[in-house]
Structure 1
Amino acid sequence: MRVITGFVLCATLATVHAQTDFPNKPITLLVGSAPGGSNDIFARAIGKQLQETLGVSVVVDNKPAAGGILANVLLAKAPADGYTLVVLSSTFTTGAAVRKNLQYDAIKSFTPIAMLAKGPMLITVGNNTPFKTIEDLVSFAKANPGKLNYGTSGVGSINQFASELLSEAANIKMTHVPYKGMGPAVTDLLSGQIDMIIASAPSLLSQVKNDKIRALAVTTVDRSEVAPEIRGLKEAGFPKAAVDLWWGVLAPAGTPKPVVEKLNKSINQIITSEAMKSFFVKEGASPVAMTAEAFGNHLVNELDRWKAIALNANIQAD
């Protein structure tokens, strides 16, 4: 009995030491998309700063498959020690709201670490359309149900959810045109093949500033520092259609609380520095520091919201 007790005590002490000594080896940041996207850009920026703050190497590992699902599966199966994390965005919850056969539970399989930032999406139309304001677009859609087309990066994407949220708030009916990525959707908006796109500022803002497409509003309630010249949805009369893009960091379920708290504190210090604030704004977002618990609550609320919208709009994954 004493031998067993001693063994358990040693194991417990070793676990405690590993937690208090964290980190003492390289950390991997999984990203479920190819290099160059916002998740990847944010992961590399945060990783560089974490490396300096924590004193260990931080490696970004891109796993661009299945709309980010592969990276999430790998994280769910990784040791719960804080050395494997994932940087993801709003698509994590929209995808979970419509996909039935995920190899993980979006809430139970992970430990929230920190939110990184939030940013608006832009409601844009082609220059060939007659719409100068969002009121013009809504009036046309009400008079011509289903005639107005909107493009997205795919079924179940945050772009589709934001568009259906606007449809619900404005009591209109539009026709969904899904693409395999935002690039071809923007190309068709420019050429007049589709009428409208709701997408992230990084995807559309340069086209707006170059007068190639027209922005009618941002999807946040109020105007955003990312594009202060564009009206928010409260000002446009549709506050219930508001939606933010967000980016955050998760760890596997069961990650020890001391490790979570250390990572959360380090990340919050990094994202609220003046240099990182400027970096995020240039990338179409604003840093948001919150506790790990608050980020977890945000994920739960988002998932519930998207499930309700998916049911109402009959959004189903392919």
Structure 2
Amino acid sequence: MIHSPSTRRRQLAGLLAGLAVAGSSLLAGMAHAATWPSKPIQLVIPYPPGGSADLLGRPLAMQLQQQLGQPVVLEYKPGAGGTLASQYVARAKPDGYTVLMVLAAHAINDSLYPKLPYDTRKDFAPVSLVANLPMIVVGSSKLQAKNIGELVKAAQAAPERLTYGSAGNGNTGHLAGALFASTAGVKMTHVPYKGSAGVVNAMLASDIDLTFDSISTSIPHVRSGKLHALAVTSAKRSALAPEIPTVQEQGIKDFDINGWYAVIAPAGTPADVTNKLSREIATALQNPALQSQLAASGYEPVGSTPEALGAHIDREMERWAAVVKATGARIE
């Protein structure tokens, strides 16, 4: 088809207008990233102070603050398995000044809660995977079992009598315990608390029998002899406590649960800003002093691109949806 000169002029004008809009959007994004950050950044923590997210968030925030030249302030918004904090950030202004540290529970909640006040995929912009953290099966002083085999026998002898605590409904510890019970063919009673600190305090008081907890919050009490470790839940032993065998080594095949931590932002946050923050996090995680501090608590620094984190969250959502279905786990 042969177009008239006037038609071609209109098409060319439309093309140039489209390029101008795209160019202005790109320049605006670059300008935003060039000036960001120009004020304090709020890093929202979905659990109370003293938990594993706090133990990671504090030193990371301090290092980022040095690099960025702006305060990085921790804001604690615990409750409902991390969903309150997620809802808060999902509704925040997408300008890079409000970001959220999420745990594996962020991917679990989508299938565990009947209805969430946000869309896990659509309402957030991934920034960076920060670290992995092995979990540990820990017994209180009243638990006689000293290894996984003895734990299974004790649970078989008294179905539902053994209690295991977690940092809240939907927390990774909750699902780890449910998956363990399902895989081992036993029944235990879940007792939720408000954060890891609450679980540890209950363990020290022997209010519950055991917990599937982040190694960072429980290992100091194992070292002191107040609690005893039965296993780590990851496929390989933890560098922090290589003497503790894995659940798999003790007969529960294919049991592999690793806690992970990431930073995400509200959907709509400029890509140049999320990319810049991702690079800054990667730089922070390469700092020898920070690496040493994290390693002392069992964290395994990772760092990733926003795209890699997005793919990771998608995989985790699919994985945990299968676990929720298989175990029949629910919010009490």
Scaled by the length of structure 2, what TM-score is found?
A: 0.84
What is residue 28 of structure 2 aligned with on the other side? 15
Q: Does 1:287 align with 2:301?
A: yes
What is residue 274 of structure 2 aligned with on the other side? 260
Work out the CA distance in 2 between the residues paired with 1:292 and 1:99.
26
Aligned AA (1:106): T
RMSD of aligned residue pairs (Cα, Å): 2.7
Whether the 8 Å contact between 2:163 and 2:191 is mirrored in structure 1 is yes
Work out the CA distance in 1 between the residues paired with 2:56 and 2:26.
36
> Given the alignment, which residue of 126, 144, 147 partners 1:133?
147
Q: Does 1:96 align with 2:106?
A: no
What is residue 159 of structure 1 aligned with on the other side? 173
Q: Does 1:235 align with 2:249?
A: yes
* Paired residues, number: 317
Work out the CA distance in 2 between the residues paired with 1:249 and 1:184.
24
Work out the CA distance in 1 between the residues paired with 2:325 and 2:22.
51
**How do residues 145-294 of structure 1 correspond to structure 2 at under 5 angstroms?**
145-294=159-308
The answer for unaligned runs of 5 or more in structure 1 is none
> Given the alignment, which residue of 293, 296, 321 partners 1:307?
321
What is residue 38 of structure 2 aligned with on the other side? 25
Instruction: Name the % identity.
Output: 35
Distance 1:255 1:220, change over 3 A: same
Distance 1:58 1:182, change over 3 A: closer
For the pair shown, the structure with the greater C-alpha radius of gyration is: 2
Deviation, 1:270, is 0.9
Scaled by the length of structure 1, what TM-score is found?
A: 0.87
- 3-state SS of 2:85 partner: helix
Distance 1:184 1:80, change over 3 A: closer
Distance 1:117 1:293, change over 3 A: same
- 3-state SS of 1:137 partner: helix
Distance 1:268 1:125, change over 3 A: same
- 3-state SS of 2:254 partner: helix
What is residue 106 of structure 1 aligned with on the other side? 120
1:289-311 per-position Cα deviation (integer Å, ceiling 9, x unaligned): 22222221221122222222222
Whether the 8 Å contact between 1:138 and 1:170 is mirrored in structure 2 is yes
1:77-111 per-position Cα deviation (integer Å, ceiling 9, x unaligned): 23333232112222222333312332211121111
Distance 1:182 1:76, change over 3 A: closer
Whether the 8 Å contact between 2:63 and 2:290 is mirrored in structure 1 is no
Deviation, 1:122, is 1.2
Deviation, 1:166, is 1.3
Aligned AA (2:82): G
Work out the CA distance in 2 between the residues paired with 1:198 and 1:47.
27
What is residue 72 of structure 1 aligned with on the other side? 86
Worse-matched range after superposition: 29-38 or 270-279: 29-38
Deviation, 1:10, is 8.3
Work out the CA distance in 1 between the residues paired with 2:212 and 2:26.
52
What is residue 47 of structure 1 aligned with on the other side? 61
1:16-40 per-position Cα deviation (integer Å, ceiling 9, x unaligned): 3424414141232222334443323
Distance 1:145 1:10, change over 3 A: closer
Work out the CA distance in 1 between the residues paired with 2:160 and 2:87.
38
Work out the CA distance in 1 between the residues paired with 2:190 and 2:89.
33
Work out the CA distance in 2 between the residues paired with 1:76 and 1:107.
11
What is residue 3 of structure 2 aligned with on the other side? none
Deviation, 1:132, is 2.3
Aligned AA (2:29): V
Deviation, 1:131, is 1.6
Deviation, 1:278, is 1.0
Deviation, 1:60, is 2.7
Whether the 8 Å contact between 1:272 and 1:289 is mirrored in structure 2 is no
